[in-house]
Amino acid sequence: MNIASKNKVIVVALSAMILIPVLYLIYWAEFIHPPSETDQITVVSNDTNTVIQADPILQAEQVVKANPSANNYINLGLAYYQASRYHECINATRKALEYDPNSALAYNNICSAYNSLKMWDEAFIACNKAIALNPDYTLAKNNKKVAIDGKAGTDVQISEQKKLTGQSPTFENYINLGNLYYQTGLFAESVDCYKKASEIDPKNAIGYNNICSGLNALQKFSEAIPYCKKALEINPDFELAKNNLKYAEGQR
């Protein structure tokens, strides 16, 4: 089997395994812990005959504001998860752990969100905590396997891209290698690659923006700001650089 075929097998396998936790999360929210009648929030328009159902995230946010609890934060995390807002899912579910530090479900859901972000190491740690709390937790074991297989697949991609970049050290190859590092949470390595890319093509705004984004992820906001400003000097209409700059300035 050649590399391309192996990668296809890996992608299909990962897709199937990631689907399992998604289905379980939906099952948990709908059947094991559905919102109570008091949790149901609707928006009534000026027309008293019209009732508009709030979107799931707004509903979950309102519920957790009125009644902060482990279950409600887990439901909020689920709402974020279903909207592919994985970082917010993780943050909300970590709040659930403040109310219930021994929630294997919360750790499992964090693991699932990290898997969706391809942050395999963080996912592995979260699932290990879930399994430590509940050794018979099959879903957490499945999610842990997703993390292990995902890391193995990503390691192959990184290895291949490193080899390609060594053979052909172009702007594009360094950016692609940096992106692989970034996607797996290896932000310092990603910044190094983006800096090398910018040395090759110092007039390309993408390199500077990506450096800013990597430094933001490392919470080095003061260092990030000059790079986003440089990106905007080259391309004043670069919306992503504007957003990254705004975020860095807001967090500094």
Q: Where are the domains of the chain?
A: 3-150, 168-251
pLDDT attached to residue 22? 46
Own/partner pairs, 143-147, CB within 8 angstroms, 24+ separation: 143/17, 143/21, 143/108, 143/111, 143/112, 143/115, 144/111, 145/17, 146/14, 146/17, 146/18, 146/21, 146/115, 147/111, 147/114, 147/115, 147/120, 147/121, 147/123
Separation CA 35–CA 37 (nearest Å) = 7
The answer on pLDDT for 125 being more than 90 is yes
Q: Which comes out higher in pLDDT, residue 17 or 136?
A: 136
pLDDT attached to residue 68? 97
The answer on pLDDT for 138 being more than 70 is yes
Locus of tokens 């053979």: 167
pLDDT attached to residue 183? 87
pLDDT attached to residue 197? 97
Which of 112, 175, 100 lies closest to 139, judged by CA? 112
Separation CA 39–CA 203 (nearest Å) = 53
Fold of the domain built from segment(s) 168-251: 1.25.40
Question: Which CATH architecture describes the domain 3-150?
Answer: Alpha Horseshoe (1.25)
